[in-house]
């Protein structure tokens, strides 16, 4: 166990270094950074990348919550739940519905979220 505690920070450090050096291929994009990065336009490299990142995170979160909704609904429909646990399952179902709504909204409004980061 002690060796794992010593190895885990080294693995994380190695992963961070590998991913940071992997972006050297995009070093020519750094020269195009100026005041235009704060404007939201279709030719803005940074704005399109932030929009893609927001859409990826929101899409993964939405898929996770939809799968949770399906699993919880199946447990409610087909599972033999005791009377004292029914309220917990329904709270979990409504919480997952709210979470899915938040992530679907983030996916739909990804350009607006990205423009919040760039506009003053």
So what's the pLDDT on residue 86? 85
Predicted confidence at residue 64, as pLDDT, reads 94
Residue 120: what pLDDT? 47
In this structure, what are the phi and psi dihedrals at residue 29, rounded to the nearest 5 degrees? -70, -25
User: What's the CA gap between 41 and 49, in Å, rounded?
Assistant: 12
Q: Quick one: pLDDT at residue 104?
A: 93
10, part of any domain: no
Pairwise CA distance, residues 41 & 67, whole Å:
35
Q: Please state, for a pLDDT cut of 90, what percent of the chain lies above it.
A: 32
Note whether residue 52 is domain-resident. Answer: yes
Q: Which domain holds residue 75?
A: 31-118
Number of domains in the chain: 1
Answer whether residue 14 is part of any domain.
no
Residue 15 lies in a domain: no
- Report if residue 2 sits inside a domain: no
The reported pTM is: 0.59
Largest Cα–Cα distance in the chain?
64
């Amino acid at each position: 166990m002690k060796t794992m505690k010593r190895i885990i920070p080294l693995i994380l450090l190695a992963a961070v270094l590998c991913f940071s050096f992997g972006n050297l291929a995009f070093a020519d994009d750094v020269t195009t950074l100026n005041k235009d990065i704060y404007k939201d336009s279709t030719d803005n490299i940074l704005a399109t990348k932030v929009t893609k990142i927001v859409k990826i995170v929101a899409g993964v979160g939405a898929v996770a919550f939809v799968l949770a909704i399906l699993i919880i609904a199946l447990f409610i429909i087909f599972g033999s739940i005791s009377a004292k646990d029914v309220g917990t399952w329904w709270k979990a179902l409504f919480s997952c519905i709210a979470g899915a709504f938040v992530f679907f909204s983030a996916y739909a409004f990804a350009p607006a979220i990205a423009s919040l980061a760039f506009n003053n």
